[in-house]
């Protein structure tokens, strides 16, 4: 008699067939955003007051790192155990955007060191990309177009590079101004935005060509 052992991810998925283990990790990332924001804001305020609280600094960095790792882990689990769902496809980029926008906004408004901040134009570029993507999805759905969110390498590279830039700025270990990773990341943001626009145009043309 052969006994089959289900992997932990599959066992968790059985608790709710629509909410998989990968989705639980995505939800965890969403919940970690305010948990990260509290020490991040507090540390920024302590730096501004001239008395940096390094304990808050490392709490914020640690929580952000855990949240960022869930982004990698949920993708691995979804692919390995075939847990790709429409809910996960929607929640995963939402959780990424929430974490990223929160982090870069805090690092812009409350710099973690003198001449150690994320520039305003970069924050605007990130927000503009999200406005284009989510605005485009809203328009397509308003026009009754079927929209399926398909990950593209440019989008993944964009998210990973932004996470790297935030980590670089937050860790403050390498004494090189954050403007350099910011510039590299901006290239990926432009590429990902261009790809998103192309996908939207393709959806419009496909729908029009159908009889």
Q: What is the pLDDT of residue 116?
A: 84
Residue 104 in tokens:
């870069």
Q: Is 182 part of any domain?
A: yes
Q: Residue 168 maps to which CATH number?
A: 1.20.120.1760
- 4 or 37: which leads in pLDDT: 37
When divided into structural domains, the chain yields a total of 1
Residue 137 is part of which domain span? 8-209
Q: What is the pLDDT of residue 2?
A: 38
- Kindly write down the DSSP assignment for every residue of the chain, as one continuous string: -PPPPPPHHHHHHHH-TTS-HHHHHHHHHHHHHHHHHHHHHHHHHHHHTT---HHHHHHHHHHHHHHHHHHHHHHHHHHHTT---HHHHHHHHHHHHHHHHHHHHHHHHS-SSTT----HHHHHHHHHHHHHHHHHHHHHHHTT--------HHHHHHHHHHHHHHHHHHH--S-S-THHHHHHHHHHHHHHHHHHHHHHHHHHHHHHH--
Tens digit of each residue's pLDDT (9 = 90 or more) over 71-122: 888 888 888 888 777 777 778 888 999 999 999 999 999 999 888 889 999 9
Q: Is 109 part of any domain?
A: yes
Q: Is 1 part of any domain?
A: no
Q: What is the pLDDT of residue 208?
A: 57
Band (18; pLDDT cuts 50, 70, 90): low
Q: Is 200 part of any domain?
A: yes
Q: Are 117 and 154 in contact (CB under 8 A)?
A: no
Q: Is 162 part of any domain?
A: yes
Q: Are 20 and 73 in contact (CB under 8 A)?
A: no
Tens digit of each residue's pLDDT (9 = 90 or more) over 47-69: 999 999 999 999 999 999 999 99
Q: With the C-alpha atoms ordered 174, 177, 180, 183, is the resulting torsion angle positive or negative?
A: positive
Q: Is 127 part of any domain?
A: yes
Q: Is 107 part of any domain?
A: yes
Q: Is 3 part of any domain?
A: no
């Amino acid at each position: 008699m052969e006994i089959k052992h289900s992997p932990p991810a599959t066992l968790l998925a059985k608790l709710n067939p629509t909410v998989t283990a990968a989705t639980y990790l995505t939800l965890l990332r969403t919940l970690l955003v305010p948990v990260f924001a509290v020490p991040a804001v507090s540390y920024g305020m302590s730096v501004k007051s001239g008395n940096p609280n390094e304990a808050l600094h490392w709490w914020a960095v640690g929580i952000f790192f855990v949240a960022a790792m869930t982004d990698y882990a949920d993708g691995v689990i979804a692919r390995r155990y075939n847990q790709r769902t429409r809910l996960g496809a929607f929640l995963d980029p939402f959780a990424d955007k929430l974490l990223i926008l929160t982090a870069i906004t805090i690092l812009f408004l409350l710099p973690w060191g003198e001449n150690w901040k994320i520039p305003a134009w970069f924050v605007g570029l990130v927000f503009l990309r999200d406005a284009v993507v989510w605005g485009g999805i809203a328009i397509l759905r308003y026009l009754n177009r079927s929209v399926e969110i398909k990950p593209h390498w440019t989008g993944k590279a964009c998210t990973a590079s932004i996470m790297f830039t935030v980590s670089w700025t937050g860790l403050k270990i390498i004494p090189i101004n954050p403007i350099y990773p910011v510039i590299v990341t901006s290239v990926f943001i432009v590429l990902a935005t261009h790809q998103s626009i192309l996908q939207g145009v393709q959806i419009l043309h496909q729908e029009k060509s159908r009889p």
